[in-house]
């Protein structure tokens, strides 16, 4: 072996332990996710696109990323307890699904970066300082309630509609008042009156919807609210029993049995959230990343529910729908 070749071999061989050590010490990202439902199966519609999107960005489970999933089963105390548990695990980032999880995570840690998903009015709720510069250790993806457009679509579906019952959560009165003002302003040119119906907790939907006239001239609208999101199956079940058409803010309500929805594509938000997580894992500060808004809105209609409540959805509207549930 020539001297130059020998020296190259020796230097290269000497560096092998260093390379091996660098590979072994390469950081494995630790991501915590605080969901809202009780199992991974119930969250599959959101869990799968979130993890798939992170995988496409190079985070492969078992190689360079581990996940700590927590499922609070929509119980307020479990949100708080599980957020506190995640805060103690020395995670690189915490992802939250729905408002209750986001506020619980913020209360649990001021140091671990947080990326929230599906929060209505994070500024008004005190979650962030502003959308452009959220501040602290938090950023995320907010949802925007497009109540005027939803009201217009409901009237287009049922031209004889003269009244809309707007479900209100009195525990979020300031947010509910803003939504009511938007709906009422949009109702006037459509010759609709708006009737606010307060729902006093998860066990009050039966009573609340029982006071809504079942005259085929009254529709029901819900807005983005943590309790309504959690109780979407109950809302759909009770409304169907009373023969009431429900216009909801997102497709998950329709998949639970509500008649129709128009609003942000929530699955798309979970896919996009992977980008913010990636930026944080590469060193960016969560509080410097602007809160992002939806870019995709979907109209979803459940024709099986329409048959159940004996109301017909125009074929022209079905043709425009992004998804029709049979």
| Model confidence pLDDT, tens digit, residues 94-107 | 999 988 999 999 99
Average pLDDT score over the chain: 90
Kindly report which listed range (87-101, 121-135, 197-211, 222-236) carries the lowest average pLDDT score. 222-236
What whole-number distance in Å separates Cα of residue 271 and Cα of residue 54? Answer: 8
Instruction: State percent of the chain over pLDDT 90.
Output: 78
Give the pairing type, strands 29-34 and 93-97.
parallel
Mean pLDDT calculated for residue range 229-256: 94
Confidence of residue 205 (pLDDT cuts 50, 70, 90): very high
User: Does 25 score more than 70 pLDDT?
Assistant: no
Mean pLDDT calculated for residue range 137-154: 93
Phi and psi at residue 83, to the nearest 5°: -65, -45
User: Does 93 score more than 80 pLDDT?
Assistant: yes
Task: Tell whether pTM > 0.75.
Answer: yes
pLDDT tens digits along 279-320: 999 999 999 999 999 999 999 999 999 999 999 999 999 999
Mean pLDDT calculated for residue range 199-228: 93
Give the pairing type, strands 260-264 and 246-248.
parallel
Confidence of residue 17 (pLDDT cuts 50, 70, 90): very low
What whole-number distance in Å separates Cα of residue 251 and Cα of residue 150? Answer: 13
Exposed / middle / buried, residue 84 (Cβ in 10 Å: 0-12, 13-18, 19+):
middle
């Amino acid at each position: 072996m020539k001297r130059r070749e020998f020296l190259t071999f020796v230097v290269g061989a000497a560096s092998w332990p260093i390379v091996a050590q660098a590979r072994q010490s390469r950081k494995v990202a630790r991501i915590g996710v605080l969901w809202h439902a009780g199992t991974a199966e119930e969250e599959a519609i959101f869990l799968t696109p979130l993890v798939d999107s992170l995988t496409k960005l190079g985070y492969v489970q078992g190689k360079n990323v581990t996940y700590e999933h927590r499922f609070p089963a929509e119980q307020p105390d479990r949100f708080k307890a599980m957020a506190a548990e995640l805060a103690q695990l020395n995670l690189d980032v915490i992802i939250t699904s729905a408002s209750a999880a986001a506020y619980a995570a913020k209360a649990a840690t001021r140091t671990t970066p947080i990326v929230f998903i599906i929060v209505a009015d994070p500024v008004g709720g005190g979650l962030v300082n502003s959308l452009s510069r959220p501040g602290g250790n938090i950023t995320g993806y907010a949802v925007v309630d497009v109540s005027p457009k939803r009201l217009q679509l409901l009237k287009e579906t049922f031209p004889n509609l003269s009244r809309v019952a707007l479900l209100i959560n009195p525990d979020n009165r300031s947010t509910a008042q803003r939504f009511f003002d938007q709906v009422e302003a949009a109702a006037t040119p459509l010759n609709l009156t708006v009737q606010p119906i307060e729902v006093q907790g998860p066990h009050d939907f039966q009573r609340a919807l029982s006071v809504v006239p079942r005259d085929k001239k009254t529709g029901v609208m819900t807005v983005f609210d943590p309790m309504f999101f959690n109780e979407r199956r109950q809302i759909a079940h009770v409304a169907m029993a009373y023969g009431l058409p429900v216009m909801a803010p997102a497709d998950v309500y329709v998949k639970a049995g509500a008649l129709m929805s128009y609003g942000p594509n929530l699955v798309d938000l979970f896919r996009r959230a992977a980008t913010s997580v990636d930026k944080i894992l590469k060193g960016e500060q969560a509080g410097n990343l602007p809160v992002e808004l939806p870019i995709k809105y979907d109209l979803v209609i459940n024709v099986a529910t329409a048959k159940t409540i004996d109301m017909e959805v125009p074929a022209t509207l079905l043709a425009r729908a992004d998804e029709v549930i049979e």
